[in-house]
Each structure stands twice: as structure tokens, then as C-alpha cells.
Amino acid sequence: MKEYLEKVWTKRPLIISGPCSAETEEQVLQTAIRLKATQHVDLLRAGIWKPRTKPGMFEGMGEKALPWLIRARKETGIPVMVEVARSEHVELALRYGVDLVWIGARSTVNPFSVQELADALKGVNIPVFIKNPVNPDLELWCGAVERVQQAGITHIGLIHRGFTSYAQTPYRNAPMWQLPIEMKRRFPHLKMICDPSHICGNRELLVQVAQKSIDLDFDGLMIESHIDPDHAWSDSRQQVTPETFLGILHALVWRSGEESQPETHNALMALRGQIDHLDDEIMDLLSRRMKLADQIGLYKKEHNMTILQAKRWNDIMQRALAQGLPIGLSREFIIRYLDAVHLESIQHQNRVMNEETPTKPIA
């Protein structure tokens, strides 16, 4: 591997920045120059093949953009990296002399894609980053690592970019910290980089998420930056200018790994992360439950039924006890919990049934 890359690879924290997508030569170059001025960027990222959810969205500039990146490296000295999703991408990236590649979340999810990339990378001596799969499936992430390892790649990094979640969270992709922490445990020698941009999906939460990753002893950050974020052709809401990016780095508290972050603390954070995530999901589910109660309230109103139907209520309680007792919940807790939920539900139905009804004058 090239000597300058070896040097960059061992840096901690490893800082990656650059636009979500390469759009024009000027945009790539200006972003690189302004990032260089921050003196904090180790690797320049830019997507040129963009996996988009829907057809018709901007899908990247493709091969045409590769010389722009090479020029940006020439002007700034910062090694460059692109996302690869197919074997042709790997071949082209290597032909133009790109320094590193990363496998995106929508590829990690598909073992066929990962194997195709691993085959294309056989015998190639460049570092490869593997983003987590879009869904919270740790085994898929591990499988991707194993496939790339089996291809003989020795420099592998992991990128945590959050996971699609059923619950409504403030994030674009829920961080579910317990998953990258478990990956760190299973692959202690691989770098773990946090990508707060794709976790947050907005600029406001970037510092908070980046700080959390530092506190969890991550090895670096990947943050998207753009010379004109509001007009970026992809992921405009989460990108920041190179100067704002520098501000983010300055706002972070860089704690040193070993003594301030003992294993036990990491384990505690992991457990708390899981609890926070489950609490978010429970809140979301309760809110959905109450919306259903509103609909039932309307139905009962239309059909002139009472809110409380004793038999139904008894059935709900019996079902909950039958389900909850064998899985470790106490009878007392199940009853107290369901009582609270039921009361809230009755209040919702009561509101729907009575509040919108104009009071009839007494005859």
C-alpha cells in the first residue's frame, strides 16, 4: 500500500469529509481546498455512483467525476475515496487511482453485491470501509467484513451510519449504538468510524451524535460537507460548509480512549443505548395505540355504543397476562401498566365522543 496511505490509516481520530456527491469539478475542487484549509481532514470523500431510493433522483456523475477527485488530491494532497457498489465501479476507481473505497449501506445489506465487490477487490491492496447495512442486522455487517477479509483486504474500516427503524426517532437513521459497540467487540482490530451525517439527516444533531461516538471510543468521523449545502444535489439538509464542519470539530471534546473510557463504561453506555431505543419504540407504539382508540371512539359514537365494554377489557387483560407472565413480567406490573394505558385510551375516546358534539339544549 502507498506509504502516505499507511500513515493516514494509523491516524486517530481519522477525519473524513467531503460532499455527499461530486456534482461539478469546481464544487469538488473548492470543497477540497476549503477542507484542506481546516487542517483537519485526512480523507476526502465524494459519492459518484449514488444508490437512490427512487428512479429519477440524481444518481451521481459516474466515471466523469473520477478525474475531478484525482485533481482535488493533486491540489490538496488529501487522499480520496468513493463508494463502490458494483465490480465496474471498483475497476474504474482503481484505474483512475482512487486511494480507498467504501461499501454503502444499501450494498452491505445484499450478500450478492458484497461478494461481487469482494471478488473485484481480490489481490488489490487498498483500504476498504464497510458501512453498516440499512437494517439493524449485525450478522449481515459481519458477513460483509468476512467476505472482504477473505478477498485478502488487510485494511478494513467500519462506518456506523445508523439503521432504518420502525419507531419514529429524531434521526434519519436510528443510531442503535449497541450494534456498532458489538461490532467493536467482535472485530477489535478494525477501525470504527461514525457517520453522524447519515444518522442525523439534519445539521442540528451532528455535534451531539459525533460527541457520543467519541465517548464510545470510536476511531474517527465521516461528516458530509459542501460549498453550498442548501443547494446540494443530494442530502442537502445534512451537509455543512467546510467552515461549519471545522466549528463542529472544535465543539467536540476529544477524550482519550483507555483510562477515561474503561470497558465497563462502554458496556453501560451500550445498555443505556438499548434502553433509550426501546423507550422510543414504546412511546411510538403507545401513540399509535391511542390513535386507534380515537378511531374506535368515533365508531362507538356513530353506533351509539358505550366506551367501556367490560368483556373486551377483561379479554385484553387476560391476553396480556397470558403473554407477559411467562416472559418475566410480574402480574402487578402488567395490571398497573394496562390500567394506565386503558385509562389514557378511555380519555382519548371520551374526547372524540363528547368534545366535538355540540351540547343539545335541554328540552
Using CB under 5 A, list all residues that contact Mn ion: 20, 235
Residue 218, φ and ψ in degrees, nearest 5: -70, 165
Check if the beta carbon of residue 53 is closer than 8 Å to that of residue 77: no
Q: Radius of gyration (Cα) for the chain, nearest Å?
A: 25
Q: Which of 20, 151, 210, 248 binds ligand PEP (CB under 6 A)?
A: 20
Q: Which of residues 98-117 bind ligand PEP (CB under 6 A)?
A: 104-106
Q: Rounded to whole angstroms, how far apart are CA atoms 158 and 145?
A: 9
Nearer to ligand PEP, 235 or 348 (CB): 235
**Residue 23 binds which entry of ligand PEP, Mn ion, none, with Cβ cut-offs from 5 to 8 Å by kind?**
none
For the bound state, the minimum distance from the C-beta of residue 260 to ligand PEP, rounded and expressed in Å, comes to 29
Q: Rounded to whole angstroms, how far apart are CA atoms 97 and 91?
A: 10
Nearer to ligand PEP, 34 or 198 (CB): 198
Binding mask 183-202 for ligand PEP (x = CB under 6 A): ---------------x----
**Residue 99 binds which entry of ligand PEP, Mn ion, none, with Cβ cut-offs from 5 to 8 Å by kind?**
none
C-alpha cell at 282: 414504546
160 lies in the site for ligand PEP, by CB under 6 A: no
Neighbours of 284 (CB within 10 A): 15
In sequence order, what DSSP letters do the residues of 270-313 get, joined into one string? HHHHHHHHHHHHHHHHHHHHHHHHHHHHHHHHHTT--S--HHHH
**Residue 19 binds which entry of Mn ion, ligand PEP, none, with Cβ cut-offs from 5 to 8 Å by kind?**
none
131 lies in the site for ligand PEP, by CB under 6 A: yes
Q: Rounded to whole angstroms, how far apart are CA atoms 46 and 90?
A: 15
Q: What angle do CA 63, 69, 73 make, to 5 degrees?
A: 150
Give the β-pairing of 128-131 and 100-103.
parallel
For the bound state, the minimum distance from the C-beta of residue 105 to ligand PEP, rounded and expressed in Å, comes to 4
In the bound state, the residue with its beta carbon closest to ligand PEP is: 104
For the bound state, the minimum distance from the C-beta of residue 330 to Mn ion, rounded and expressed in Å, comes to 46
**Residue 184 binds which entry of Mn ion, ligand PEP, none, with Cβ cut-offs from 5 to 8 Å by kind?**
none
Nearer to ligand PEP, 61 or 352 (CB): 61
Q: Which of residues 308-347 bind ligand PEP (CB under 6 A)?
A: none
> Of 44, 121, 46, 119, nearest to 75 (Cα)?
44
By CB under 6 A, how many residues form the interface with ligand PEP?
A: 8
Nearer to Mn ion, 198 or 348 (CB): 198
For the bound state, the minimum distance from the C-beta of residue 127 to Mn ion, rounded and expressed in Å, comes to 20
Alpha-carbon distances, residue 121 vs 91, 101, 115 (angstroms):
9, 10, 10
Nearer to ligand PEP, 228 or 344 (CB): 228
Alpha-carbon distances, residue 265 vs 56, 107, 258, 268, 270 (angstroms):
46, 33, 11, 5, 9
For the bound state, the minimum distance from the C-beta of residue 343 to ligand PEP, rounded and expressed in Å, comes to 42
136 lies in the site for ligand PEP, by CB under 6 A: no
Q: Rounded to whole angstroms, how far apart are CA atoms 85 and 59?
A: 12
Give the β-pairing of 191-194 and 220-224.
parallel
For the bound state, the minimum distance from the C-beta of residue 213 to Mn ion, rounded and expressed in Å, comes to 17
For the bound state, the minimum distance from the C-beta of residue 350 to Mn ion, rounded and expressed in Å, comes to 46
For the bound state, the minimum distance from the C-beta of residue 25 to ligand PEP, rounded and expressed in Å, comes to 19
Q: Footprint of ligand PEP on this chain (CB under 6 A)?
A: 20, 47, 104-106, 131, 161, 198
